[in-house]
Amino acid sequence: MEDGEEEGDLVVLIHGLARTQASMRIMAMRLNRAGFRTAFARYNSRRMRVNEAVAAVAQQIEGMERNGAVHLVGHSLGGIVALRVRDDRPDLKIHRIVQLGSPNRGSGAARTLIDLRLAREFFGPVLTELSADSEKADNPDPDVMAIAGASMPRWLSQRYGVQGFNDGLVSVRSAWGWAAGKRLQVESIHGWLPLSAEVAQKVIDFLETGDVTQDARDDD
């Protein structure tokens, strides 16, 4: 558990594919300063399938001390895991979810990498899952926010199979997904999303109030 207020909401931070909790530490620090307690969920992103990661994270949340509401903030694959934990484990009573650059509708980069043996060996079995578009119908939930990065030049990202406005790995359309009732677009690349002060403030605003100040922009 990270240092923070002894009382208050708990925010569980979930890292992305091929990353560790270190990638979420700056976000945790900013959340602590805003009065939230934070904890890190650990899972072997390069060896587990999504359902295995969901089970591992849910088990950790079960053992966490809670004095208030519990929220989940996940980067990339971590955001997909976060949403699945809430949906699969209603007994955990997760309140709000924030997804940062999560490939809810698949990643064009993953679809490109899946054809490369070395990439499959490095990223593991979840790469296949991230390459598919779920094609789910929109079902927006006001307690879910999705933040998409959109600073990668489209002419460059298209070479790697990523279409539309995107963060270099995930398109805005995919990051916004189907479940988010709040959808934001920021000028950021994929890996910078959990490090951005602007993004952190949006996360804090949403977790505190259920609302954000920036209107989402349409994307193709």
Q: The tokens 């995930």 sit on which residue?
A: 170
C-alpha to C-alpha distance for 186 and 175, rounded to whole angstroms: 12
Report whether 132 contacts 80 (CB < 8 A).
no
**Cα radius of gyration (the chain):** 16
pLDDT of residue 214: 58
SS3 21: helix
pLDDT of residue 20: 93
Helices (runs of H) and strands (runs of E) counted in the chain:
9, 6
Domain ranges of the chain: 10-208
C-alpha to C-alpha distance for 204 and 38, rounded to whole angstroms: 12
Superfamily of domain 10-208: Alpha/Beta hydrolase fold, catalytic domain (3.40.50.1820)
pTM over 0.95: no
First vs last Cα of the chain: how many Å apart?
40
pLDDT of residue 97: 98
pLDDT of residue 220: 42
Report whether 173 contacts 118 (CB < 8 A).
no
E-strand ranges in the chain read 10-14, 37-41, 70-75, 94-100, 141-149, 180-186
User: Which stretches of the chain drop beneath a pLDDT of 50?
Assistant: 1, 3-5, 155, 215-220
- Which of 135, 131, 76 is closest to 109 using CA atoms? 131
C-alpha to C-alpha distance for 17 and 203, rounded to whole angstroms: 21
